[in-house]
Structure 1
Amino acid sequence: MREVIQSAVNVSTSSSAVVQEIVERLAAFEGLKVADYSLDPDHNRSVVTLLGTQKALEAAVPVFFEVAEKYLDIRLHRGEHPRIGIVDVVPFTPWRGVGMEECKALAWRVGEEIARRFRVPVYFYGEAAKRPEHRDLSQIRRGGYEALREEIARIPERFPDVGPCEVHPTLGATAIGARGPLVAFNVNLRTQDVGVARKIAARVREGLQAVKAIGVELKTRGMVQVSMNVLDFRRNSLLEVFRFVALEARRYGVDVAGSEIIGLVPLEALVDLAQVVLGVPDLRVSQVVEHHLTDGF
């Protein structure tokens, strides 16, 4: 069975030209597929989702840094999303024919190469973390690039795992890790009061154990957003998360404008939705035709 690893690479830019150059270069790699990419001007962030083998991903990740080094400068970056660098986060998630141990080893190999070639400080996070304080990505990104720039050389917990104890002049720093499936799920609210979104995000973090949340402005759309990472959709389903945010929004007299998923979503998470919304509690992933077609039929 051919191995498949997913990597949703987060880049601190909303430049379509830069992302397009990355995507075009990646198209030449054997054993690699660009499954999805999206750009958000408010977050000033792009997510390029790759599916591939260990060998292909190991060769492909440096392309992000090569292109970013030509065009982008973290010192000039402004956006709603927390970040420590231009190629901000590189996660590896096992899907088929490979386990978490292989993804951890892949993260370490890629991190060593990025630190060596580009002189970028690298933090290993999630299952690939080599220190307890680096397991949680939000702790690595605490205070963003600006705080890390001042603290990286003088606070031990801010020392990188590999690479120099100073941020790269234009690329900043990067976090590379291994983790299970994650759903980037955002709910938009019909208000321009970002304080409401931040209060709801705090309630999400308190009430839903498997969800990370922040409240941000969507200035280009005249709304605000509860931006979330659902770390375990089996513990907190997308429907549960949506209903939780909608209920909290009603407390402030605010309507939900809609929701969005960034990148890929596991089929199982959508089947869970259908079970409840359609009232089919026994619906199984194995009843979906595409499940069998992608399983080597």
Structure 2
Amino acid sequence: MASQRLNLRLAVCLLNISEARKKDIVERVAKAALGDKQGQRKMQTTVLNIFSDYDYNRSVLTLVGPVETLGNSILTSCIEAFNLIDMNAHIGVHPCLGAVDLVPIYPLSESVSLEECGKVARNVAEKLILDVPDCSFFYFGYADQPLKRTLVQRRKELNWFNRSNLKVKERKPDVGAVISPRCGLTGIGASPYVMNCNVTIATQDLNAGQQIASAIRGANVGGLKGIQAMAFPHQGTVEIACNVESFKDEPLTEERGKYISYCIQGEEYLYFSPSSIEKQIKKLAKNLGVATVGTALVGFTPEHCKSLAEQALREGTGEFWKKRKVLTM
């Protein structure tokens, strides 16, 4: 029976936590999504994937479930992460502010609205400050009412790119009394699906990576629409890390083939295809005399995410990430 016949209206949370070097901690956070705060009641949720990066010291957990109950799974995972991760001891090359650094919630089923996902995000934040008094949050997207400021806007405002700079400034979070050194500051919100696509170039020259990242950034002239990009040193090379945002604007006809589309409540959204991102970075790298050596998709495209979630929920497989490991070995 397909998930639609079970009347499941699916949403997904790509939970970003500031830990990748201790596998046991990451998996405890993932497993916490599958039970209530007492670890007794099983959630109608699946953890599709865990993507951990040692150099970044950051993991992304893909949690999927009905929008009506997904917040409970996010809540229990975050409680576990806040209990296990201490930002005072965190070391990694990827920018971050919180033990739970980012809690983005996206619609997966066409019938799920962005407003619903925003309400889930706000509800999770309000409950978490009761369960973990030291945690604090800033809202973005459809959780940030009425402004609906984007994640990029909020991060710039809060000096997300420079954690030490945040510590010396007095800032009041949107939810929570203060920003604690242990828990840090967490971004929580809702938007159309944002995919992560990372392309590695065969050089240790970070400047070359920064030039490429700047060239493809959607905010810059000649950049790729919907792309946010940064360059990081990574395993002896440089990685161009791209956030691939979904958007509603109609692209030029000749560019249409570079995008993939899906619907939210009857409205078409587009995002730049991973193959087109890879192709453009390869072209820019070649102009600098550098080769590309690999592309990693952090998680899934929205279509693949929905398909795998339906499969996992039909089977009742909560720890789906373990099954994927077996299938890909």
Shorter-chain TM-score range: 0.7 to 0.9
Residue in structure 1 matched with residue 4 of structure 2 by the alignment: none
Measured in 2, the distance between the counterparts of 1:178 and 1:240 equals: 26
Residue in structure 1 matched with residue 165 of structure 2 by the alignment: 147
How far does residue 17 in structure 1 lie from its aligned partner after superposition? 1.0
Q: 1:32 aligns with which of 38, 45, 52?
A: 45
Alpha carbons 1:82, 1:141 under 8 Å: kept: no
CA shift digits 1:87-130 (9 cap, x unpaired): 00001111124211111111111111122322322111122223
Alpha carbons 1:64, 1:87 under 8 Å: kept: no
Measured in 1, the distance between the counterparts of 2:46 and 2:136 equals: 27
Alpha carbons 2:29, 2:78 under 8 Å: kept: no
Q: 1:121 aligns with which of 120, 130, 136?
A: 136
Counterpart check, 1:102 vs 2:116: yes
Q: Tell me whether 114-123 or 13-22 shows the greater mean CA deviation.
A: 114-123
Q: Which amino acid aligns with 1:229?
A: N
Residue in structure 2 matched with residue 130 of structure 1 by the alignment: 145
How far does residue 268 in structure 1 lie from its aligned partner after superposition? 7.7
Residue in structure 2 matched with residue 230 of structure 1 by the alignment: 244
Q: Which amino acid aligns with 1:216?
A: F
How far does residue 141 in structure 1 lie from its aligned partner after superposition? 5.0
Measured in 2, the distance between the counterparts of 1:33 and 1:56 equals: 12
Alpha carbons 1:190, 1:223 under 8 Å: kept: yes
TM-score (norm 1): 0.82
Change (3 A) 1:179 1:290: closer
Indicate the SS of the match to 1:31: coil
How far does residue 8 in structure 1 lie from its aligned partner after superposition? 0.5
Residue in structure 1 matched with residue 287 of structure 2 by the alignment: 251
How far does residue 132 in structure 1 lie from its aligned partner after superposition? 4.2
Residue in structure 1 matched with residue 324 of structure 2 by the alignment: none
Residue in structure 2 matched with residue 19 of structure 1 by the alignment: 26
Change (3 A) 1:124 1:143: same
**Structure 1 residues 200-215: aligned runs within 5 Å:** 200-205=212-217, 206=220, 207-215=223-231
Q: Which has the higher contact order (CA 8 A, sep 6+)?
A: 2
Indicate the SS of the match to 1:52: strand
Measured in 1, the distance between the counterparts of 2:44 and 2:138 equals: 26
**Structure 1 residues 45-60: aligned runs within 5 Å:** 45-60=58-73
Change (3 A) 1:292 1:170: closer
Change (3 A) 1:136 1:292: closer
How far does residue 24 in structure 1 lie from its aligned partner after superposition? 2.6
Q: 2:233 aligns with which of 207, 217, 220?
A: 217
Indicate the SS of the match to 1:170: coil
Gaps of 5+ in 2: 1-6, 36-41, 247-258, 260-269, 315-329
Measured in 2, the distance between the counterparts of 1:148 and 1:293 equals: 42
Residue in structure 2 matched with residue 156 of structure 1 by the alignment: none
Measured in 2, the distance between the counterparts of 1:55 and 1:152 equals: 36
Q: Which amino acid aligns with 1:20?
A: E
Measured in 2, the distance between the counterparts of 1:209 and 1:265 equals: 17
Alpha carbons 2:200, 2:292 under 8 Å: kept: yes
Residue in structure 2 matched with residue 184 of structure 1 by the alignment: 196
Residue in structure 1 matched with residue 253 of structure 2 by the alignment: none
Change (3 A) 1:39 1:293: closer
Counterpart check, 1:5 vs 2:11: yes
Measured in 1, the distance between the counterparts of 2:61 and 2:310 equals: 26
Gaps of 5+ in 1: 154-158, 270-288
Change (3 A) 1:200 1:102: same
Please give the root-mean-square deviation of Cα atoms over the aligned residues, in Å: 2.6
Alpha carbons 1:130, 1:161 under 8 Å: kept: no
Alpha carbons 2:67, 2:112 under 8 Å: kept: no
